[in-house]
Structure 1
C-alpha cells in the first residue's frame, strides 16, 4: 500500500487504482434515484482520491457540520493522551472531578473508567446528553454524574453522547487545553487541516460528541490516516497499536447483519465487510475498508444512513479489484460529466404572481411562536427578493433569494452564529409563495410556505431533516 506523501491528497484515475468509472457512476445514479440527499462524496483507493463530487451549491472549500462523526476525533485525542501518558484507559472517570461527585457514589459510578466512556459501555440506560443540556448552571460534568448508572460498566452498550463529552472534559482537565487546541499540533497541522471549529458547552469545554466542522477532504485525510495505521507523509502521527485497538470491536450493540449491529469500538462503529466507520447524523460518514485499501467519505442530509451504506456495498465494494484496470474513455468521460453536473436544484414552479406588487415591502406582525419571530416582510426587485425576519430580541436577519435560482446570504437563522445560506423563491400558486433556504455548511434546508390572504399571511415552516420535528405549527401574520 502506498502512503499519502504530502499534506494534500493525491489524485488518480479510478481504473489506475483498480476500480471502474462505470461502478462509480452507478453508485452516483443510485443515491440520486433513491433521494439519499448527498452533499459530497470522496472515494479513496490505495491512498489516491479516485473520485470526488459536490452537489452544488455545496462546494469543496466549505466546512460541513459533522454531528457524531466528531466522536472519532475525540477518541483520537484520547489516543494521543494515552500515548503521552497523561491518562490510562483504566482511570476512573470520577477521579478527574472529585469536586463534582454526587453525595452518594454508587459502585457502578465508582467503577466507570475512560475505557467505558470510549466504548459506550458506561452502564447508563439513557443517553445523558439531554440531562447535560438541561443543567441550569451549565455544569455538564456535574449533570453527567447525576444520571443513575443502572448497569455494571462494560456490560451494556448505550449510545451516549454525554460520555463523549466527558472524554473532552477529562482531556481539558489534564491538559489545560480544549480538545480543539490539543488536536491542532498533533493531528490537524500534520494532516494540513485548517480552520476547524468545535462547539463548546457553557463552561468552555468542547462538546466532544458533536460540534466539529471541517471540509470533506479533511475527513478524507482523517480516514486515510487510520487506513495507513497512523502514518502520514512517512511520519508516525498516531501509534498503530492505538488505531488497532480503537477500531476493534469492544462491545456488542445489537443483533442482525446490518451495519448497526456489528459492534462498537472506541467511538468507531464496526461495519460489514471487515470495515469500520466514523458516523454522524444524516449521513456524515467516513468508511474505512482495510481489506480493499479504500476510504469512502460522504456529507449529506439523509434519513437513511443504512441506505447510503447499502449503495456502497452494492455498487462500489464489488468493483474494487486487486490490479489496475484498462482505461474506459467513454465511461471516464461520462463520470467526469456526471460529477461536474451534481446539483441541488432550486424549486421552479410558477414563475411569478400578481401578488408581488401588492405585498412588496409590507411588514406582517407575527403571532407568538416558538422561533421568537416578531415580524416578516418581503420585497421584490426583478428576479431577486429580500426577506427580513425580525426577532423578539430586536435583531433582524435579511435573506436574499433568487427567482428559481440560488442567492447567497449570511444571516442568523438556525443558531447564534451567522449561517451561510443559499436561498431561492418560487410561486406555487398566485396566493402561495415558497421560499427555500439551503444552509450549505449544514445538512439543513428550510422550506417556508407563505399563503397570502387579504390582510394576513399564514407561514408554515418545514425542515428536510432535524433531530426534533421537521414540521411546525403554522404562524399567522397580520399587516
Structure 2
C-alpha cells in the first residue's frame, strides 16, 4: 500500500520513480478531512474504490489503494481509453496526417457497403470524435463477430449499419464510432495507436501501458481495452489541466488540449453527470470540470477552477463524481478540519473486506482432492483443491488447459494465473466483445468457510475492475459450483453461468 497524506509525506521528491511530486494536503491548501471523507465514502458505497490519486497545483496531495490493489497494478480503464485515442488523433491532426473534416468514406473506401447512403457519405472524423455520427444507437451493440476477427471485418460490419440521422445532428454515445476513428487513425499513421503514442505521449509522461487490447491485425481497440496505473491516469489528466504541458514541455498540442476538452456538442437526455456536453472523446462535467471516464468509474477528472486532478480506478459506476463534488471540492482552499496524521492512518490501512467465514473448519481436509464434471457450456472438466496452512490452492482444467489460483484463508494472496477475466467483463461492453485475456494475469485470491460444507472464494483480476466469487458446496462425494461476478453482484446484470455439479474423482 502506498500513501501520501499528512506530515510524513511532506517532502516533494522530483526524482520519484513515477515522476510525480508529493506534498502534504495542508501545503497544497486541501483540507485532509475532505480527503478522509472521500475515502470513507467509497467504502460506505460498498468498497467501490480500488485506488485514487489527488493532485493539486501539480503535486500529489493524497493517494491510496485498497489491498489487494497496488500502485503498480495497471487496470482496464474501459472508455477512458477513448480520451487517450483522441489524443492520438490530435497528434495526427497536428502533423497533417488527417483532418477533422476528412470523410470516413474517403479514408476507408475499401470497407464500404455496396450502397453508401447520403448520411454515411457525410460522416466525418469530427462526428466520430463528438459521438454525432448519425446512428440512432451504438452500432457496436448489434455487431456480432468473433474476437479473432480483424479490424477490417469489424469496420465493414459497422459501416453496413443504417445511419438514421444526418451526422452532426444527434448525440449517441457509441463504441462503434470510436472503433471507426481508431481504424482511420491506423490508416493514416501506419501503426497502432499504442505504437504511435509511445514516443509522443507515453514516454514523455513516463506512462507504462499495462495492456492495450488489439484486433487480430494489430489495430488498437480505441473504444476500450487500455490498462493503466492510477498514477499514470493522473499524469494524463494533469497534462490536459496544463493545456498539454508536462514538466514544462508542450507534449500534447495546445490547440488539441483546449478543443478536445471544450464543449463541442450538447448531450440532451443524459443523467446529471453527462448533461454538460461533450468534446472530442472527453466529457464536460458539472462545476466547470471535464474528464475521461470509463465504465465502473475509471476516471481522469480535471478541475480547472481548483487547479486539481482526481484519478480513480474503481468497480462501481456512478459513485466517484458525486462523492468528489461533496467532499473534495469543498476541501480545496479550506482550513484543515482534522490532523493530517489521521488521514495518513486511514490511507495506510486501506483494505477490501476479506471473505466472511472460518479460516479452517475441522472438515476442510475431507474435501481436498479432485472433482470431475460432465460436459458443460463453461468447458470445466476438473477442479482440484488443496489446503496447506493458511492458503488454499485451486487448479481448474478446461479446454484451454490447466489454470491455478492461490487463495489466502481470510486474507489476500496474489498469484499469477492463466485464468481469464473475460467471463466477468461488463456485459454488452466493447471490452467484452474484443477482450482477449493475456497469457498470464495477476489474481488476488481470498477464501473462507461460511459453513462447514461450503467454501467461498473471491478471485480479483487485478488487471481489470472485476472479480469472481466462486462458491463450492460439498456433498458426501460431490461438489456444486456457483459463480457470481462482481458486475452481477452490483446489480448491473446477471451472471448467466450455470451452476455445475461435479463428482469426486477416485
Interval containing the TM-score (normalised by the shorter chain): over 0.9
Q: 2:415 aligns with which of 409, 413, 418?
A: 409
Distance in 1 between the 2:391 and 2:289 partners?
Answer: 48
Match in the other structure for 1:375: 382
Q: Does 1:435 align with 2:457?
A: yes
Q: Which runs of 4+ in 1 moved over 4 A?
A: 4-7, 325-328
For residues 326-350 of structure 1, what are the alpha-carbon distances to aligned partners after superposition, in whole Å with 9 as ceiling and x for unaligned? 667x610000010000011322412
**Does the residue aligned with 1:76 lie in a helix, a strand or coil?**
helix
Match in the other structure for 1:399: 405
Q: Does 1:66 align with 2:77?
A: yes
Q: Does 1:205 align with 2:216?
A: no
Contact kept in structure 2, 1:286 and 1:296, CA below 8 Å = yes
Distance in 2 between the 1:196 and 1:383 partners?
Answer: 31
Q: Does 1:341 align with 2:349?
A: yes
CA-based RMSD? 1.9
Q: Does 1:179 align with 2:193?
A: yes
Distance in 1 between the 2:383 and 2:206 partners?
Answer: 43
Q: Does 1:78 align with 2:89?
A: yes
Distance in 1 between the 2:59 and 2:390 partners?
Answer: 43
Residues paired across the two proteins, number = 468
**Does the residue aligned with 1:368 lie in a helix, a strand or coil?**
coil
- Cα–Cα, structure 1 residues 213 and 471, in superposed 2: closer, same or farther, change >3 Å? same
- Cα–Cα, structure 1 residues 79 and 5, in superposed 2: closer, same or farther, change >3 Å? farther
Match in the other structure for 2:282: 268
What are the equivalent positions in structure 2 for 1:125-164 lying under 5 Å apart?
Answer: 125-134=136-145, 137-138=149-150, 139-164=153-178
Match in the other structure for 2:4: none
**Does the residue aligned with 2:414 lie in a helix, a strand or coil?**
strand
Match in the other structure for 1:350: 358
What are the equivalent positions in structure 2 for 1:215-364 lying under 5 Å apart?
Answer: 215-255=229-269, 258-302=272-316, 304-305=317-318, 307-321=319-333, 331-361=339-369, 363-364=370-371
Match in the other structure for 2:9: none
Distance in 2 between the 1:339 and 1:133 partners?
Answer: 44
CA positional deviation for 1:76: 0.5
Match in the other structure for 1:34: 45
**Does the residue aligned with 2:396 lie in a helix, a strand or coil?**
strand
- Cα–Cα, structure 1 residues 430 and 471, in superposed 2: closer, same or farther, change >3 Å? farther
Q: 1:473 aligns with which of 471, 488, 498?
A: 498
Distance in 2 between the 1:384 and 1:257 partners?
Answer: 45
Distance in 2 between the 1:380 and 1:89 partners?
Answer: 60
Contact kept in structure 2, 1:389 and 1:396, CA below 8 Å = yes
Contact kept in structure 2, 1:386 and 1:399, CA below 8 Å = yes
Contact kept in structure 1, 2:378 and 2:497, CA below 8 Å = no
- Unaligned 5+ runs, structure 1: none
Distance in 2 between the 1:257 and 1:86 partners?
Answer: 36
Match in the other structure for 1:24: 35
Identify which range, 129-138 or 59-68, moves more after superposition: 129-138
What are the equivalent positions in structure 2 for 1:95-134 lying under 5 Å apart?
Answer: 95-134=106-145
CA positional deviation for 1:353: 2.7
Distance in 1 between the 2:271 and 2:68 partners?
Answer: 36
For residues 143-183 of structure 1, what are the alpha-carbon distances to aligned partners after superposition, in whole Å with 9 as ceiling and x for unaligned? 11111111111111111111111111111111111000000
Identify which range, 400-409 or 274-283, moves more after superposition: 400-409
Q: Does 1:50 align with 2:50?
A: no
Contact kept in structure 2, 1:5 and 1:232, CA below 8 Å = no
- Cα–Cα, structure 1 residues 137 and 45, in superposed 2: closer, same or farther, change >3 Å? closer
Contact kept in structure 2, 1:65 and 1:214, CA below 8 Å = yes
Contact kept in structure 1, 2:140 and 2:174, CA below 8 Å = yes
Alignment TM-score, normalising by the size of structure 2: 0.88
